[in-house]
Amino acid sequence: MSRWRRDAVICRSISAVLGACLSNRRAGWNGHRVVCEPLESRTLLTTIPFSPTQVRMAFGLGQIQTSSGGVDGTGGYNGAGETIAIVDFGSDAGIFTQAKTFSSAYNLPQFTATPVAGSPTFLIFNQGGATTPLPAVATNDEDGEEVMDVEWAHAIAPMANIDLVEATYSGNPFTQRSNYGTAIVTAAALPGVTVVSMSLAPMQFPLNDFSTSAAHAGGDVAGVTFVESSGDSGAYIDMADQEALVAPQVLSVGGTRLALNSDNSYSAESAWGNPFANPVSGSGGGYSTYPTPDYQLTYFGSTGPVGGGTKWKTNRSAPDVAWLSDDAGNNLSTAVGGDIIDTAYPTAANPGIGGGTSLTAPMWAGLIADMDTMLWQLPKNPIPSLWGYVPKSAGAAVPATALQTIPLLYLIAKSDPNAFHDMTAGNNGYPAGSGYDLATGLGSPNVPVLMQDIKTYESNIIHVVSPTTQASAGDGSSWSSPMTDLQAAINTGHENYLETGIESIIEVAQGIFHLPTDSTDTSATVQLADGVDLEGGFAGPGAADADLQSLGATTISGDGYSYHVVTASGTDKTAVIDGFTITGGDADVWGRIGFGGILCAIAA
């Protein structure tokens, strides 16, 4: 949601913010209209926002982005080679100049309008994907929204290209909705785009068909993650008219208040919100009407969000994550938002101030671009990529190299809580508390730890082929160097899990694994292990697509001698086997109860 401030006036620009729906009509629309709800002027305790330099230091971005030639963020994991698409309404004729001034003021790489080696590009498109004509300047300060989105995505991913897609502003809610949806589809399809940032949230306009829209359903835009601000109205997501913010295929981003030490290092954060306001304001959070996605069920286990009752068992919780957003709209903090440079405030000596969860969406989009840069630098073949989220029910074909962004963040948070700054103070109508809460989700990123955990997770993928198809064994790091001993691979994955806390994936090529050495080898078995996901059926080396998975195409055979071909006893729910045909178990002798295919009678 666009919420940004200049001096002592807070402007909440929500005019015609319609979420990311793509159809022109929605059955049952109840006549709600989109409104602009200006907030009254308030006297603030300070007008000093956080600078990009402060935020980068506080969250450890400098530790993953090495400096070169005095310019910050030109090395390391900095978004290089990635493109962030930002969707907004209307146009700002001066935005390119403002972004260049912002970059100079905060020692960031300069944008170019055409590709230049070693520099990020900044391109502007209309909702149809053309560079001309651009829409007219929107009312209600949408130019400020654009400036904040572009400048802060750049601050977090300094070398990422940025494509700004401008939807045409319209006073008609149906046209508005269609325009914004068209812009999202266009943004996701632009060349090189890996993440789409959306900071405009619906207000008083139900959009329950959001998850079925072509740009999001099933995460079917290959290699693209969608990021949406959770809104600035506090614990409102229980209302059905906010569904566009919390579709399970979209990373929902809430807001925090940040405190720094005198040296600009991280001190503390709390949930952003004022539960005593009427209506409640702050980080958007709560329950949607969408079913709980599998990644949240896995994360929660038997315990749901702090202070959230039991609705988490059936309904998606939001937000997923959070980051700096407080714009001091409720006079509750002295450090506010982030610097922006725009038409009204063209210099760093007197910057404008941007805030609200509109600030968090482009920041998280920038971080996802940094993650993609890191994945490209790993010694992997083929290169992994981030996808947003593909529900199991979608039936979409997802390559094994796809790391689903949203489930991955939950998996890492469960394995390593230090990957996120956990808020235990603050309230948006729901209290912040240890672990996941409905104000800040998993928390804000502890960037160096989170990036290392993602790298470790990807490194925990081990490739295996049958010794009947390949005589020489490798280290399992890729299909060009696979292991041939299935049990040894499982043991290695388990050791990695114990060391890192990140679950290992064993990808096994099509073929057959014979267990017994002779008729007396009745104890031959594949022993599963905690923290290891054993996946079969991959096309493997020599195939046009080595990661194409055909379930059941990998066979583990006991050749009629093994009492039990696979053993799961003694493991917990982190031990997984899928995609195999298990055959040849010796279960034909009376009294061998539980023997044969898989022994799991005493599994945890």
> What are 361-400's pLDDT values in tens digits?
999 999 999 999 888 877 654 566 677 776 655 545 556 5
Amino acid 64: pLDDT:
81
Q: Say if residue 468 is in the same domain as residue 437.
A: no
Domain boundary among 433, 453, 473: 453
pLDDT one-digit tens code per residue, 542-562: 887 777 888 788 999 988 888
pLDDT 10s digits, 221-264: 678 899 988 888 888 655 444 555 677 888 999 999 888 888 88
Of the residues 399, 430, 453, which one is the last residue of a structural domain? 453
Q: Are residues 468 and 351 in the same domain?
A: no
Task: Kindly state whether residue 604 falls inside one of the protein's structural domains.
Answer: no
- pLDDT category at 43 given cuts 50, 70, 90 is very low
Helix (H) or strand (E) holding 492: helix 486-500
Which residue range is the domain that position 423 belongs to? 2-453
pLDDT confidence of residue 592 = 52
pLDDT digits (tens, 9 = 90+) for 290-343: 889 888 998 998 888 888 788 899 989 999 999 988 754 332 223 345 656 655
Q: How far apart are CA 311 and CA 314, in angstroms?
A: 6
The reply to whether 437 and 510 lie within a common domain is no
Task: Round to whole Å and give the CA distance between 544 and 541.
Answer: 9
- What pLDDT, on the 0 to 100 scale, is given for residue 480? 85
User: Quick check: 446 pLDDT over 50?
Assistant: yes
What are the residues whose beta carbons fall under 8 Å from the beta carbon of 77, sequence distance 6 or more? Answer: 64, 65, 370, 371, 373, 374, 377, 451
Among residues 463, 546, 478, which one has the least CA distance to residue 508?
Answer: 463
Of residues 155 and 62, more confidently modeled: 155
Name which of 266, 188, 202, 210 is nearest 230 in CA terms: 202
Q: Amino acid identity of 91?
A: S
- Of 243, 278, 230, nearest to 39 by C-alpha is 278
pLDDT higher than 50, residue 213? no
pLDDT digits (tens, 9 = 90+) for 488-508: 999 999 988 887 667 788 999
Counting residues of the chain whose pLDDT is more than 90, the rounded percentage is 28
Sign of CA dihedral 417, 418, 419, 424: positive
pTM of this prediction exceeds 0.85? no
Q: What is the average pLDDT score of the chain?
A: 76
pLDDT of residue 325: 85
CATH, residue 135: 3.40.50.200
The residues near 239 (Cβ < 8 Å, ≥ 6 apart) are none
Based on the fold, state whether residues 143 and 19 are members of the same structural domain.
Answer: yes
Q: Are 499 and 544 found together in one domain? A: yes
- 242 with 375, same domain: the answer is yes
- Tokens 């997984």 sit at which residue? 576
Q: Which residues, at least 6 apart from 534, have a Cβ–Cβ distance to it below 8 Å?
A: 490, 506, 508, 528, 576, 577, 578, 580
Q: Residue 142: helix, strand or coil by DSSP?
A: helix
Q: Looking at 453, 476, 494, which one is the last position of a domain? A: 453
